[in-house]
Amino acid sequence: MALPRHVVDPNGHVLNEEERTYHESFMREAIGMAELALQTDETPVGCVFVKDGEIIGRGMNATNRTLNGTRHAEFIALAEILSKHPISILQETDLYVTVEPCVMCASALRQYHIRAVYFGCWNDRFGGTGGVLTIHSDPSVDKPYPVYGGIFREEAILLLRKFYVQENEKAPEPKQKKTRELKTEILPLEMVNPDQKAKKLKGAKKENVPVTTTVFAAKETVTVSTVTSTLKEIVAVDTTISTAKIFQQEKPNDQNPGGSTVSVALESS
């Protein structure tokens, strides 16, 4: 499966074949952990921490088993790492996780000075690295870290869907989910977090709502043809989009120091 086009490094560099293979191999390991979680009635989120091309910690969600709502995959893997290594190892370590880290984990990772985070799908309920909040890059006493989203996004979503058609007996009032069906169709929309966009559109009163999304974070320049082809891809999958405007921001940020950001405003009808 090809890596989505927007998985670029903070310098706007689109990953080459070799780099893709490298990151995909670790995301594949993370997905393996998530599948394990699903088999044991845990929310299927899995992760691996990687230093110098080697996995130094593995984790899967364990909130049901432990009755502890904070036992996320990242915390489980971090405990494994800290049982063998000094804390400082995390400064040279990358995280691969199937679902975007939540606000809690995003903050923990920043306090531990993680090097970078690669994730599968966005978390529009409590994502901390762009899904809901941007804990990785907000003003803080700790240095920011780069995040890359969308690696095997469809598989990560499908795993979550499989879980949500199961029943959570630990919940105070287990919801009847027998009638739930597993949907397997996933929109190949990569540039916009579809759930977030849907929420925005639903909550809006006006008919035409511009949805601005960052397509590329580029340090140098982004060719117009790249942007155009990406836009075609978006417009093709979302027929409600009537117009798309491209604009460039020269606003540097933590993730993109000294660089410019190319964004598109999509008007949905």
Partner 1 sequence: MLPDSCPPKGRLLPLKTRDELRAALETIDVYAVEVPARFADKVLNIFRTTYPDLFTNNFQHIRRVAKFSFLPPHIQSNFSSLPDLWEEVEGLSDEIVDEDAEQKEKKRVELRYVITTSTSSLPTRDLLQLLATNPPFTGLRIQPQVFTVPIPALAPTSAEQAEQWSREYWPVSYRNTNPYGPHPALVGRNTAEIEDAAPIWLHLAEEVGEQVRAAGYGESVGCVITDGSGKPEELIAVAGDCRWRSPNGEPMPKEASGNVMAHCVQRAIAMVAKKRLRASGKDPETETLAHIYSDSPVTAMEETAYSVDNTPPNGYLCVDLDIYVSHEPCIMCSMAILHSRFRRCIIRRRMPLTGGLTAETPETQAKGDIYGGSRPAGLGCGMFWRPSELNWKFLAWELDTGVEKEVGIEDTLHA
Of 24, 74, 155, 190, which is the active-site residue?
74
Shortest approach of partner 1 to residue 174 CB, angstroms?
11
Angstrom distances, CA of residue 1 to CA of 14, 70, 152 = 16, 32, 8
CA distance 236 to 245: 15
Q: Which of 10, 128, 149, 259 binds partner 1 (CB under 8 A)?
A: 128
**C-beta neighbour count of 33 within 10 angstroms:** 24
Q: In angstroms, what is the minimal distance from the CB of 75 to partner 1?
A: 6
SS3 242: strand
49 by Cβ neighbours in 10 Å (0-12 / 13-18 / 19+) ranks as buried
Report the residue from 139, 176, 185, 239 that binds partner 1 according to the rule CB under 8 A: 139
Cβ nearer to partner 1, comparing 12 with 57: 57
Q: At 267, phi and psi to the nearest 5?
A: -100, 120
Residue 80 annotated in active site: no
From candidates 18, 52, 67, 239, binder to partner 1 by CB under 8 A = 67
Query: Please, what is the minimum distance in Å from the beta carbon of residue 80 to partner 1?
Result: 6
- CA angle 36-40-42, nearest 5°? 90
Strand pairing report for 46-51 and 54-60: antiparallel
DSSP assignment string, 66-94 = HT-TT--HHHHHHHHHHHHS-GGGGGG-E
Pick the binder of partner 1 from 126, 186, 265, 267 (CB under 8 A). 126
Q: How far is the CB of 233 from partner 1 (least distance, A)?
A: 28
Site for partner 1 in 172-231 (CB under 8 A): 172
Among the listed residues 175, 154, 152, the one whose alpha carbon sits nearest the alpha carbon of residue 164: 175
Site residues for partner 1, window 84-123 (CB under 8 A)?
87-88, 102-105, 107-108, 111-113
With binding defined as CB under 8 A, does residue 79 bind partner 1? yes
Q: In what order do the strands lie in the sheet with 260-268?
A: 209-218, 260-268, 241-249
Pick the stretch among 3-11, 59-67, 152-160, 179-187 that binds partner 1 (CB under 8 A): 59-67
Q: Which of 75, 119, 122, 216 binds partner 1 (CB under 8 A)?
A: 75
- Contacts with partner 1, residue ranges (CB under 8 A): 62, 65-71, 75-76, 78-80, 82-83, 87-88, 102-105, 107-108, 111-113, 125-126, 128, 132-133, 135, 138-142, 170-172
- The residues assigned a catalytic role are 74
